[in-house]
Amino acid sequence: MADRPTVLLSAFADEAANSKSIVEQFAALAALGLSYYSPRFLDLDGSGRVQHVTELTKDQFKTLSDRQREYGLSVCSIGSRIGKVKLLDVADASHNAYVAPKKYLDTVVADTIKSANALGAKMIRGFSFYHPLGTDPWPHVQAAADRLGPIVEACAKHGLIFGLEVEANLIGQNGKLLAALAKAVKKPNLVCIFDGANISCQNINAIDCCAEYEAMRDVFGWMHIKDYRIDKSLKWTGVVDEERLKNFVPADVGDSGHELILRDLKDHLPKIHKRMVKLGAPGVFLELEPHLKGGGQFGGFSGPDGMGVAVRSLCRVLDYVGIDYHLRDFGDIRTARGF
């Protein structure tokens, strides 16, 4: 129905390919009917050399732009690694690196902004830094906000939205912390990204997971669709071993509460849509990052079959709760061919 709230669907393209070849990535997403994607790891020429999108040269960006146009794809966001470093130069039991703020701005952040500009992206995904392992994240909120501020400002200068993703082990590991970070940063182009599995993998049930979404709803920008089935035999220690997470499942069978969350999103979607369009986005995205064949600290894998399962699973939930979306149809093909 035309008057129902509508979302845009996207996916992390590298999750859909058995190789990281952009031809396989794009072919899989186009065949599933998606029109948006987020670039992350890719093999640009089929040589087997895999690069992160932020590492490409000017000529390589041109090649990638040409290929995405051939497959009828546009970029949702840059799947950056911004914020996945230590907040403080303090030794702990983790393997995470520390990079001085000025150097980080001049390298990682600048390269990410360059990739967004080159590919026509309006949004950048980022994170909230690692606090010293084993410490309470709350006392680190203001320090993390102070470091995020210049990053968000740099994005604003280029007309870009910075999305802060909720993730276990980081300072913004739940909705309440993410909302506190956004409030402390106080930048209009900073929005927050909800990811159900990144919360439920902390042994948080569907009801409480929904509560964490509600805590960040006022600063919500878009959502990653990833679900998780809680391992009841796991003794919760307060830290997630990301390389051992194997319980990722489609969005209609996990413990993240997607039906509850999407029902709530439906009611608030018009307001959120207005906010995101004002910032320069084409709408409110639900972006698939399903990890159905495994996931870790810097990415995950689903394969073309797993991505297909994930897309159909999400569409079933959206149909059930009454949120509209668009997958390519014959009319899109005719338009692309100039008919």
Between CA 232 and CA 136 the distance in angstroms is 24
Token pair recorded at residue 104: 């980080």
Cβ within 8 Å of residue 314, ≥6 positions away? 9, 225, 250, 251, 252, 286, 288
More confident residue, 331 or 156: 156
pLDDT mean across residues, the chain: 94
Which domains, ranges and CATH numbers included, belong to the chain? 8-336 (3.20.20.150)
Tens-place pLDDT, residues 45-62: 999 999 999 999 999 999
pLDDT of residue 231: 80
pLDDT at 339 over 60: no
State the number of CA atoms in the 13 A half-sphere of 223 facing the CB: 29
pLDDT at 1 over 50: no
- Radius of gyration of the CA atoms of the chain, in A: 19
CA dihedral for 195, 305, 16, 27, sign (positive or negative): negative
Question: Comparing 200-204, 210-214, 265-269, which segment has the lowest mean pLDDT?
Answer: 200-204
Q: What share of the chain is helix, strand, coil (3-state, %, to 5)?
A: 45, 15, 40
Tens-place pLDDT, residues 147-202: 999 999 999 999 999 999 999 999 999 999 999 999 999 999 999 999 999 999 99
pLDDT at 332 over 90: no
Distances (CA, A) of 250 to 100, 143, 214: 38, 36, 22
